[in-house]
Amino acid sequence: MRIIIALFALTLLGSACSFNNVKEDKSLGHFFKDNQVEGCFASMDNGTGQFVTYNLSRYRDSSYTPGGSFEIVRSLIALQTGVISNDSSIFKEGSLPINKDTLQDWLDSLGYGARNDKERFKIKTSLDSFWLDNSLKVTPDAQLGLIKQLYFGQLPFFKTYQEMVKRALLKEDNTLYRLGYKTGKAIATNGHAIGWVVGWIEENNHANFFVLNIESEKLDSDLETVGVKMVKDILKEQGFFQGNR
Protein backbone atom coordinates (compact mmCIF):
# COMPACT_ATOMS: atom_id res chain seq x y z
CA MET A 1 0.00 0.00 0.00
CA ARG A 2 2.73 2.48 0.94
CA ILE A 3 4.61 1.79 -2.29
CA ILE A 4 1.50 2.17 -4.43
CA ILE A 5 0.56 5.45 -2.79
CA ALA A 6 4.08 6.80 -3.02
CA LEU A 7 4.13 6.10 -6.76
CA PHE A 8 0.63 7.48 -7.26
CA ALA A 9 1.17 10.70 -5.33
CA LEU A 10 3.20 12.78 -7.77
CA THR A 11 2.97 15.99 -5.81
CA LEU A 12 2.26 16.99 -2.23
CA LEU A 13 -0.15 19.65 -1.18
CA GLY A 14 1.85 22.83 -1.01
CA SER A 15 1.23 26.50 -0.64
CA ALA A 16 -1.55 27.77 -2.87
CA CYS A 17 0.02 31.18 -3.02
CA SER A 18 3.45 32.54 -3.95
CA PHE A 19 2.73 35.75 -2.03
CA ASN A 20 4.24 37.75 -4.89
CA ASN A 21 0.86 38.22 -6.52
CA VAL A 22 -1.18 39.08 -3.42
CA LYS A 23 -3.42 42.05 -2.89
CA GLU A 24 -4.41 42.65 0.71
CA ASP A 25 -7.89 44.15 0.88
CA LYS A 26 -8.44 45.60 4.33
CA SER A 27 -11.86 46.86 3.28
CA LEU A 28 -13.13 43.28 3.70
CA GLY A 29 -12.74 43.75 7.44
CA HIS A 30 -16.27 45.06 7.78
CA PHE A 31 -17.68 41.61 6.93
CA PHE A 32 -15.86 40.19 9.96
CA LYS A 33 -16.81 43.09 12.20
CA ASP A 34 -20.47 42.93 11.14
CA ASN A 35 -20.62 39.25 12.01
CA GLN A 36 -18.61 39.63 15.24
CA VAL A 37 -15.88 37.19 14.25
CA GLU A 38 -12.13 37.19 13.73
CA GLY A 39 -10.54 35.43 10.81
CA CYS A 40 -9.23 35.60 7.29
CA PHE A 41 -10.40 35.30 3.70
CA ALA A 42 -8.60 34.66 0.44
CA SER A 43 -9.71 34.25 -3.14
CA MET A 44 -7.67 33.27 -6.18
CA ASP A 45 -8.50 34.15 -9.76
CA ASN A 46 -7.34 31.10 -11.68
CA GLY A 47 -7.08 33.03 -14.95
CA THR A 48 -4.71 35.70 -13.68
CA GLY A 49 -3.25 33.98 -10.60
CA GLN A 50 -4.15 37.06 -8.56
CA PHE A 51 -4.90 36.58 -4.87
CA VAL A 52 -7.07 38.87 -2.79
CA THR A 53 -6.70 38.38 0.94
CA TYR A 54 -7.85 39.76 4.24
CA ASN A 55 -5.54 39.09 7.22
CA LEU A 56 -2.67 37.62 5.22
CA SER A 57 -0.62 36.54 8.24
CA ARG A 58 -3.45 34.35 9.55
CA TYR A 59 -4.11 32.95 6.08
CA ARG A 60 -0.48 32.05 5.52
CA ASP A 61 1.00 31.28 8.92
CA SER A 62 -1.73 30.03 11.27
CA SER A 63 -3.18 26.53 11.31
CA TYR A 64 -6.48 25.28 12.71
CA THR A 65 -8.34 22.03 13.10
CA PRO A 66 -10.28 21.46 9.84
CA GLY A 67 -13.50 20.14 11.32
CA GLY A 68 -16.00 19.02 8.70
CA SER A 69 -13.94 20.41 5.84
CA PHE A 70 -11.73 17.33 6.29
CA GLU A 71 -14.58 15.28 4.81
CA ILE A 72 -13.24 16.30 1.39
CA VAL A 73 -10.08 14.31 2.05
CA ARG A 74 -11.74 11.50 3.98
CA SER A 75 -14.33 10.92 1.26
CA LEU A 76 -11.65 10.80 -1.43
CA ILE A 77 -9.74 8.20 0.58
CA ALA A 78 -12.93 6.21 1.17
CA LEU A 79 -13.73 6.19 -2.55
CA GLN A 80 -10.19 5.29 -3.57
CA THR A 81 -10.04 2.38 -1.12
CA GLY A 82 -13.53 1.09 -1.93
CA VAL A 83 -15.08 1.91 1.45
CA ILE A 84 -17.81 3.88 -0.35
CA SER A 85 -18.74 3.58 -4.00
CA ASN A 86 -21.41 6.12 -4.91
CA ASP A 87 -22.24 9.81 -4.73
CA SER A 88 -24.98 9.37 -2.14
CA SER A 89 -22.43 8.11 0.43
CA ILE A 90 -20.17 11.17 0.20
CA PHE A 91 -20.19 13.51 3.22
CA LYS A 92 -22.73 11.36 5.05
CA GLU A 93 -22.49 11.47 8.83
CA GLY A 94 -21.13 8.46 10.60
CA SER A 95 -17.81 6.71 10.81
CA LEU A 96 -16.11 5.46 7.65
CA PRO A 97 -14.32 2.19 8.53
CA ILE A 98 -10.85 3.11 7.25
CA ASN A 99 -7.94 1.72 9.22
CA LYS A 100 -5.20 3.86 10.69
CA ASP A 101 -2.41 2.73 8.39
CA THR A 102 -4.46 3.47 5.28
CA LEU A 103 -5.45 6.90 6.52
CA GLN A 104 -1.88 7.69 7.52
CA ASP A 105 -0.50 6.60 4.15
CA TRP A 106 -2.88 8.86 2.28
CA LEU A 107 -2.34 11.82 4.57
CA ASP A 108 1.40 11.37 4.08
CA SER A 109 0.97 11.27 0.32
CA LEU A 110 -1.06 14.48 0.40
CA GLY A 111 1.10 16.24 2.94
CA TYR A 112 -2.16 17.23 4.60
CA GLY A 113 -1.54 18.80 7.99
CA ALA A 114 2.24 18.74 7.52
CA ARG A 115 4.19 21.71 8.87
CA ASN A 116 7.08 20.90 6.54
CA ASP A 117 8.62 17.90 4.77
CA LYS A 118 10.22 16.67 8.00
CA GLU A 119 7.23 17.18 10.29
CA ARG A 120 4.41 15.16 8.84
CA PHE A 121 1.16 14.87 10.77
CA LYS A 122 0.81 11.54 12.59
CA ILE A 123 -2.52 10.16 13.74
CA LYS A 124 -2.31 9.73 17.51
CA THR A 125 -5.93 10.14 18.60
CA SER A 126 -9.30 8.64 17.62
CA LEU A 127 -9.82 7.65 13.98
CA ASP A 128 -13.31 9.13 14.28
CA SER A 129 -12.29 12.58 15.49
CA PHE A 130 -8.63 13.47 14.93
CA TRP A 131 -9.73 16.20 12.49
CA LEU A 132 -11.84 17.74 15.26
CA ASP A 133 -9.60 17.55 18.33
CA ASN A 134 -6.76 19.89 17.26
CA SER A 135 -4.26 17.09 16.70
CA LEU A 136 -4.63 17.71 12.95
CA LYS A 137 -4.28 21.33 11.87
CA VAL A 138 -4.11 22.98 8.46
CA THR A 139 -3.48 26.50 7.21
CA PRO A 140 -6.12 28.34 5.19
CA ASP A 141 -3.52 28.49 2.41
CA ALA A 142 -3.30 24.69 2.33
CA GLN A 143 -7.09 24.44 2.25
CA LEU A 144 -7.18 26.70 -0.80
CA GLY A 145 -4.50 24.58 -2.45
CA LEU A 146 -6.54 21.45 -1.77
CA ILE A 147 -9.73 22.77 -3.35
CA LYS A 148 -7.87 24.07 -6.39
CA GLN A 149 -6.20 20.70 -6.99
CA LEU A 150 -9.52 18.91 -6.50
CA TYR A 151 -11.22 21.19 -9.01
CA PHE A 152 -8.65 20.35 -11.67
CA GLY A 153 -8.40 16.66 -10.77
CA GLN A 154 -4.77 17.01 -9.67
CA LEU A 155 -4.94 15.16 -6.35
CA PRO A 156 -3.49 11.61 -6.11
CA PHE A 157 -6.86 9.92 -6.50
CA PHE A 158 -8.63 8.60 -9.58
CA LYS A 159 -10.18 11.49 -11.46
CA THR A 160 -13.54 9.73 -11.41
CA TYR A 161 -13.56 9.96 -7.61
CA GLN A 162 -12.43 13.59 -7.62
CA GLU A 163 -15.33 14.39 -9.97
CA MET A 164 -17.72 12.60 -7.61
CA VAL A 165 -16.58 14.73 -4.67
CA LYS A 166 -16.79 17.88 -6.80
CA ARG A 167 -20.41 17.03 -7.61
CA ALA A 168 -21.13 16.55 -3.92
CA LEU A 169 -19.65 19.99 -3.18
CA LEU A 170 -21.75 21.77 -5.82
CA LYS A 171 -24.46 23.80 -4.06
CA GLU A 172 -25.74 26.17 -6.76
CA ASP A 173 -25.73 25.61 -10.52
CA ASN A 174 -27.52 27.92 -12.94
CA THR A 175 -26.96 29.80 -16.19
CA LEU A 176 -24.97 32.55 -14.45
CA TYR A 177 -22.64 30.68 -12.11
CA ARG A 178 -21.72 27.45 -10.37
CA LEU A 179 -20.92 27.58 -6.65
CA GLY A 180 -19.38 24.71 -4.72
CA TYR A 181 -18.09 24.58 -1.18
CA LYS A 182 -17.61 22.58 2.01
CA THR A 183 -18.12 23.97 5.49
CA GLY A 184 -16.59 22.85 8.75
CA LYS A 185 -16.69 23.70 12.43
CA ALA A 186 -14.67 22.74 15.49
CA ILE A 187 -13.32 24.07 18.78
CA ALA A 188 -9.82 25.55 18.75
CA THR A 189 -7.16 24.97 21.40
CA ASN A 190 -8.02 28.38 22.92
CA GLY A 191 -11.62 27.27 23.44
CA HIS A 192 -13.03 29.42 20.64
CA ALA A 193 -15.35 28.15 17.92
CA ILE A 194 -13.75 27.78 14.48
CA GLY A 195 -15.60 27.85 11.16
CA TRP A 196 -14.47 27.05 7.61
CA VAL A 197 -15.86 27.57 4.13
CA VAL A 198 -13.68 26.37 1.26
CA GLY A 199 -14.75 26.16 -2.36
CA TRP A 200 -15.00 27.82 -5.76
CA ILE A 201 -17.27 29.92 -7.92
CA GLU A 202 -17.27 29.47 -11.67
CA GLU A 203 -18.57 31.92 -14.25
CA ASN A 204 -18.13 31.55 -18.02
CA ASN A 205 -15.96 28.46 -17.43
CA HIS A 206 -13.63 30.62 -15.33
CA ALA A 207 -12.90 29.43 -11.79
CA ASN A 208 -12.21 31.52 -8.72
CA PHE A 209 -11.22 29.65 -5.54
CA PHE A 210 -11.82 30.86 -1.99
CA VAL A 211 -11.32 30.01 1.65
CA LEU A 212 -12.83 31.60 4.73
CA ASN A 213 -11.61 30.85 8.25
CA ILE A 214 -13.48 32.47 11.14
CA GLU A 215 -13.30 32.34 14.92
CA SER A 216 -15.66 33.34 17.71
CA GLU A 217 -15.66 33.24 21.51
CA LYS A 218 -19.37 32.33 21.34
CA LEU A 219 -19.44 28.55 21.22
CA ASP A 220 -23.14 28.53 20.34
CA SER A 221 -22.51 30.50 17.15
CA ASP A 222 -23.51 28.70 13.94
CA LEU A 223 -20.26 29.57 12.21
CA GLU A 224 -21.01 27.39 9.19
CA THR A 225 -24.16 29.37 8.38
CA VAL A 226 -22.41 32.64 9.21
CA GLY A 227 -19.46 31.65 7.05
CA VAL A 228 -21.54 30.81 3.98
CA LYS A 229 -23.34 34.14 4.25
CA MET A 230 -20.03 35.97 4.59
CA VAL A 231 -18.55 34.22 1.56
CA LYS A 232 -21.57 35.04 -0.57
CA ASP A 233 -21.55 38.66 0.57
CA ILE A 234 -17.83 39.01 -0.17
CA LEU A 235 -18.16 37.37 -3.59
CA LYS A 236 -21.09 39.62 -4.40
CA GLU A 237 -19.03 42.67 -3.50
CA GLN A 238 -16.30 41.34 -5.79
CA GLY A 239 -18.76 41.27 -8.68
CA PHE A 240 -19.75 37.60 -8.79
CA PHE A 241 -23.20 36.03 -9.29
CA GLN A 242 -23.93 38.18 -12.38
CA GLY A 243 -22.40 35.86 -14.95
CA ASN A 244 -19.93 38.42 -16.28
CA ARG A 245 -16.70 37.49 -14.48
Say if residues 157 and 150 touch (Cβ distance below 8 Å): no
Number of domains the chain is built from = 1
Say if residues 210 and 42 touch (Cβ distance below 8 Å): yes
In a domain, 209, yes or no: yes
In a domain, 26, yes or no: yes
Closest CA to 77 of 140, 162, 134: 162
Task: Give percent of the chain above pLDDT 90.
Answer: 69
What pLDDT is stored for residue 15 in this prediction?
61
Say if residues 10 and 134 touch (Cβ distance below 8 Å): no
**54-82 pLDDT, tens digit each:** 999 999 999 999 999 999 999 999 999 99
What pLDDT is stored for residue 10 in this prediction?
39
In a domain, 50, yes or no: yes
**111-147 pLDDT, tens digit each:** 998 766 567 889 998 888 899 999 999 999 999 999 9
What pLDDT is stored for residue 88 in this prediction?
76
**169-202 pLDDT, tens digit each:** 999 999 999 999 999 999 999 999 999 999 999 9
* Residues written for the chain: 245
What pLDDT is stored for residue 9 in this prediction?
41
Say if residues 130 and 140 touch (Cβ distance below 8 Å): no
In a domain, 153, yes or no: yes
What pLDDT is stored for residue 2 in this prediction?
45
Residues 6+ away with beta carbon under 8 Å from 115 = 63
Task: Kindly tell me the sign of the dihedral angle through the C-alpha atoms of 50, 210, 135, 89.
Answer: negative
In a domain, 244, yes or no: no
The band of 97, judged by pLDDT with boundaries at 50, 70 and 90, is: confident
* Mean of the per-residue pLDDT values of the chain: 88
In a domain, 227, yes or no: yes
The band of 216, judged by pLDDT with boundaries at 50, 70 and 90, is: very high
Domain of 139 in residue numbering reads as 2-237
What pLDDT is stored for residue 20 in this prediction?
66
Task: Give percent of the chain above pLDDT 70.
Answer: 89
Domain holding 6: CATH number? 3.40.710.10
In a domain, 208, yes or no: yes
In a domain, 242, yes or no: no
Residues 6+ away with beta carbon under 8 Å from 188 = 64, 65, 134, 194, 215
What pLDDT is stored for residue 19 in this prediction?
59
User: 20-24, 81-85, 98-102 — which is least confidently predicted?
Assistant: 20-24
Residues 6+ away with beta carbon under 8 Å from 186 = 64, 65, 66, 67, 68, 131, 132, 134, 193, 194
